[in-house]
Structure 1
């Protein structure tokens, strides 16, 4: 059991959820307000994607990140910013019979430098590093992160003084994460996120979760989450396994059956669960001290 837990709120993501709930923030103003709302309810960290305000689809536009980060920093509400660096690693094959050329409308594959433009400009305290390649549930979509790409990205992240949050979607990703640390590309204290229940990565059953948690080196700090209806049960599961917690509309739209959630409501529910377990919920400055983060803005 982890008795001192921090909460991350993943406020919007990049998936096709904006048309499923009017609570999903889309514009930079809405995303920034969601970060502030989550922080006021007890989230120490806000994990941020941006979306095209006109289409609602995920975007890599540095100008959108610039506006979100500026609004959060100007709000006067303290929260650790965690920007995604996952965009730009998406390959969609042409079809099962003719995989090449790739589907140009849906493929978004760029180099390490371009994937980190917003991180190097805005210098958040944390950014993500998706530590592996994986088939997602969509028919011909592959989340693509080669060892060479990850080494290049890890070095750039290290050079600009940002803490990488290593995203682990399956057991092999954890093996690669350990190798990057061994090669000196990721500095202590190491921060990791166990991403459970995402087809076709690690399932969110307790045995798989505990196997991954036990494989995380004792000196590392990890969080864990699952998606959909398992998000809130995993608040308890993550803390019991010795980790920290992630909730938010990136991974789950519902507060309960038939009731759409806001980010603030999901954080509030997570805080209630943790408090009922007698866990202490860490604030932003406590997280900065724990993870040796450089406060920005």
Structure 2
């Protein structure tokens, strides 16, 4: 059991959920406001994607990230910002009978510098590093993160002084994560996010979670979450496994059966569960010390 826990709120994600709930934030203002709401509800970290304001589709436009980050910082809300660097690894085959050429409308493959352009400009305290490739849900989509790409991105993030959060979707991703650590590309403390229940990665049963936890890099700080209806039960499961917690509309749009959630409500539910278990919630300042975060963009963030 982890008795001192931080909550991450994954505010909007890149999934096709914008038409499934009126609470999914789409514009930079909505995303920033939702991150602030989550922070006030008890989230120490806000994990940020951006979307095309006109369509709600996922985007990696640095200008959209710039507006979100500026709005959060201007609000003087104390929250650790964690920007995704996962966009730009989307490979979609042309079909089962003719996989090549790739689907040009859906494929978005970018180089390491381009995938990190917003991170290099905005210097958040944390950014994500999806530590592997996988068949991600249905169809011909492959989430693509080669070892060479990950080494290049890890090296760049390390140079920038940003803490990478290593996103792990299966046990093989942990093998690669440990390899990056052994090569000196990930600084201590290593930060891992166990992403459970996502087709076709690690299932979210307790035995698989335990196996993942037992194979973590020694001394790392980790969180765990699951998607959909298992998100809120995983608040307790992650804590019992010794980890920290992630909730948010990126992974689940429901508070109760038939009741759509806001990010603030999901964080409040997680905080209530954890406090009822006897855990203490860490605030942003304590998280900065725990993770030894340093952010050249924010004076005083070095702990």
| TM-score over 0.5 (shorter chain) | yes
Q: 1:89-168 counterparts in 2 under 5 A? A: 89-168=89-168
Q: Which residue of 2 aligns with 1:266?
A: 266
Q: What displacement does 1:217 show?
A: 3.0
Runs of 4+ more than 4 Å apart? none
- Supply the distance in 2 between the matched residues of 1:88 and 1:266 (Cα, whole angstroms): 28
- Supply the distance in 1 between the matched residues of 2:5 and 2:215 (Cα, whole angstroms): 20
- Supply the distance in 2 between the matched residues of 1:291 and 1:273 (Cα, whole angstroms): 24
Extract unaligned runs of 5+ from structure 1. Answer: none
- Supply the distance in 2 between the matched residues of 1:214 and 1:245 (Cα, whole angstroms): 17
- Supply the distance in 2 between the matched residues of 1:26 and 1:270 (Cα, whole angstroms): 23
- Supply the distance in 2 between the matched residues of 1:137 and 1:10 (Cα, whole angstroms): 19
What is the SS of the residue equivalent to 2:203? coil
- Supply the distance in 2 between the matched residues of 1:113 and 1:138 (Cα, whole angstroms): 29
- Supply the distance in 1 between the matched residues of 2:76 and 2:182 (Cα, whole angstroms): 39
Q: Which residue of 1 aligns with 2:301?
A: none
Q: What displacement does 1:218 show?
A: 3.8
Extract unaligned runs of 5+ from structure 2. Answer: 299-303
What is the SS of the residue equivalent to 2:208? helix
What is the SS of the residue equivalent to 2:270? helix
- Supply the distance in 2 between the matched residues of 1:98 and 1:217 (Cα, whole angstroms): 40
- Deviation track 1:55-100 (CA, whole Å, cap 9, x = no partner) reads 0000000000000000000001100000000000000000011000
- Supply the distance in 2 between the matched residues of 1:75 and 1:219 (Cα, whole angstroms): 35
How many corresponding residue pairs?
297
Q: In structure 2, do the counterparts of structure 1 residues 18 and 256 end up closer, same or farther at CA, with 3 Å as the change threshold?
A: same
- Deviation track 1:184-237 (CA, whole Å, cap 9, x = no partner) reads 001001000000000000000000001101111341000000000000000000
Q: 1:1-297 counterparts in 2 under 5 A? A: 1-295=1-295, 296-297=297-298
TM-score (norm 1): 0.99
- Supply the distance in 2 between the matched residues of 1:166 and 1:84 (Cα, whole angstroms): 11
- Supply the distance in 1 between the matched residues of 2:177 and 2:165 (Cα, whole angstroms): 10
TM-score (norm 2): 0.97
- Supply the distance in 1 between the matched residues of 2:210 and 2:263 (Cα, whole angstroms): 27
- Deviation track 1:229-263 (CA, whole Å, cap 9, x = no partner) reads 00000000000000000000000000000000000
- Supply the distance in 2 between the matched residues of 1:175 and 1:125 (Cα, whole angstroms): 25
Q: What displacement does 1:18 show?
A: 0.4
